[in-house]
Amino acid sequence: MRVALPHHLGKDEVRRRLKARTGDVASYIPGGMAQVDASWPDEDTLALGITAMGQFVGAKVAVEETQMVVEIDLPPQLGFVRGVIEQGVRQSGMKLLK
């Protein structure tokens, strides 16, 4: 699943804001019971491992000059909530950039 979030901040500012707010990612996942492991394998990629409700979801956020691209490895058993997850990513992603 791929969600592109356009911005006008530039790569450096998006990277700065994401690094400052990486610890807030778990608070944007409904239910309040998620564990999020985050790392920066390179300066423009935030890798996330999210465990919630017994499910593991891997994701990465690519920082680009005019957009932030979130790619989520959604397990087949969560496919029925794809729309809800996409909407949540859009809302939460924009909050992380504010």
Quick: pLDDT tens for 40-65.
999 999 999 999 878 889 999 999 99
Q: How many CB atoms lie within 10 A of CB 49?
A: 13
Residue 23 pLDDT > 70: yes
Letter for the amino acid at 28? Y
pLDDT computed for residue 10 by the predictor = 94
Structure tokens at 91: 């809302």
CA-based angle 57:93:17, to the nearest 5? 110
Mean pLDDT confidence for 61-84: 92
pTM for the model stands at 0.89
> Edge to edge, what strands does the sheet with 45-52 contain?
2-6, 67-73, 55-63, 45-52, 35-42
